[in-house]
Structure formats: structure tokens, C-alpha cells
Amino acid sequence: MQQLYPHTGKAHVIGITGPPGAGKSTLTDKLAKNYRQQGKTVGIVAVDPTSPFSGGAILGDRIRMNELTLDPGVFIRSMGTRGSLGGLSRKTADTVKILDASGKDVIFIETVGVGQSEVDIVKAADTTVVVLVPGLGDDIQAIKAGILEIGDIFAINKADREGVERLNTEIEMMLDLNQSSVDWRPRVFRTVASRSTGVDELIAGIDEHIDYLNRSEELSKRRIQRTKNELLALLEEQIGRHVLSKITSTGKLDAMVLSIEQREKDPYTLVSELLASFLR
């Protein structure tokens, strides 16, 4: 990563997120093909943290994208986590950097689900597309606010089904309530990914967002914020690991825990004492 880092920062990173089965993989496949026709190279990181049986889902994604896997201008990396979410956003961000350094023009991050971990993973993206489907009743209420807030673009996929108008209205109402300070109003598109319908329009929407990011300096703002978060996370991780191994090597960790548990010491004082002694 040390050697790759200088070569990163060139790709445009697109997050694709939304509930399982919404058609994210199908849509990513179609978007990727469209970029390939434009002569752009594509990287895809598919993250599936949902189940210990994710092998099946990942295989499914591979099959849905199997034409792409034959294209040397496309690299697909599936990331299964088998239930452990720790550090996944870091690993995803690192994988994106590797694809970026390898010269891919566009990189997709596809996540499965609508929880905080997906929000964290998708923070590595410049443009985030939230994929929703009609006909799930009041489903938009059930989707975590976090995932809606990170949406730069909304795709109502499976627009061949009933309930498109209603979902569209719900999204627009939510966007009305969610007036953020940034002067980008997320746009809502309708797609039928399985038939490639609406894909050109969605690509145009993504391009429009890229234009906005560049024009408004929002891109550099976002990237600076991301770099700061990454730096702090890396520092925290390394310091944590270093301090832990030092304490463990003294053999005093258990005694410390016991003294806290018996209220002889409090953890706050102990931590500041330990840090002071390490920093010295």
C-alpha cells in the first residue's frame, strides 16, 4: 500500500448500495458495460457482509457479471466477510486503491444491505447511487436514514413493477425534508436493469454529478475529509495495536482489568496514565 499510494486518486469511485435483491449487481453490470463502450476501464468491488453463506451470493454476482469477467478491461473482486465486519471499510478502501493504482478509470463498490457498515464502506465513493425497488409498501421508512442521506443519486430499479410513482414521490418528499447544505439535489432515475432500460440516463446523471463535484470543489472537499478519516483511523489502529502489545507483554493487563472491575481504579484514569507513560 505504501508503494501504491502515490499512484492513486485518479479513478472515479461509484458506490452502489441498497437492499438485497434490488438489482445492484445487474445494474452494476450494465453500467460497467456502458463505460467499457466508452473505452473506460472498470474495477468492481462487490462486498457481501450479510451471511456466512455468502459464497452463493458472490457466485451469483459472478454469474450475473460473467461476460464482464472475460473482458481484460474489467477487474472484479468479491469480498465476503463471513460475519466479521471489523475493518471491512478499510479493506474495501484499500482494494479500491489497488484498482485505482492499476489504472482503472471507474471503480464500483457494490454493497449488500442498508446498515451502518454499508454507509461506512460507501464513504470511499465519490458518487453514491442508492438502488431501491417499488412494491415493498412502506419500505422506504424501514430503510435506515443513513443510507438515504449518502445518496447522491437514486435509482428506482425494477421500474417494470407496480408502485414506481409512489416510490418516486416518497423519495422526492424525503429529499424535500432533507435539505442539506450542499447545493446538489439528488436526482431520481428509473431503471429496468435486467433489460438495460434507463441505464444511459443513469450514466448521464452520474456524469452530471461528477461535473458538479468538480465545478463546486466538492470533490476535493470530500477527498480531503476522507483522507483525514483514513489517516486518523490508521493512526488509531496502529497506536491501539502497539499499546495493546506493550501492555500484554508486561503481563499486567489482567491485573489492570481486575482493579477496574473492583473499583480500585477507574478506566479513564488508567488510560490517561498509560498514555502519558507511553508518550514519554
Residues at the contact surface with ligand GDP, assessed by CB under 6 A: 20-26, 60, 64, 112, 157-158, 160, 192-194
Shortest Cβ 263–ligand GDP spacing (Å): 50
Residue with smaller CB distance to ligand GDP, 62 or 265: 62
The interface partner of residue 21, options being ligand GDP, Mg ion, none and the CB cut-off 5 to 8 Å by kind, is ligand GDP
Shortest Cβ 112–ligand GDP spacing (Å): 6
Residue with smaller CB distance to Mg ion, 44 or 98: 44
The interface partner of residue 56, options being ligand GDP, Mg ion, none and the CB cut-off 5 to 8 Å by kind, is none
188 close to 176: Cβ distance less than 8 angstroms: no
For 127, other C-beta atoms within 10 Å of its C-beta total 23
5-34 footprint of Mg ion as x/- string (CB under 5 A): -------------------xx---------
The interface partner of residue 223, options being Mg ion, ligand GDP, none and the CB cut-off 5 to 8 Å by kind, is none
Residue with smaller CB distance to ligand GDP, 15 or 101: 15
Residue with smaller CB distance to ligand GDP, 11 or 27: 27
Q: Does 78 bind Mg ion (CB under 5 A)?
A: no
Residue with smaller CB distance to ligand GDP, 26 or 54: 26
Stretch of residues binding Mg ion (CB under 5 A), selected from 59-67, 96-104, 234-242, 245-253: 59-67
Kindly list the residues in this chain that would bind Mg ion in the complex (CB under 5 A): 24-25, 61
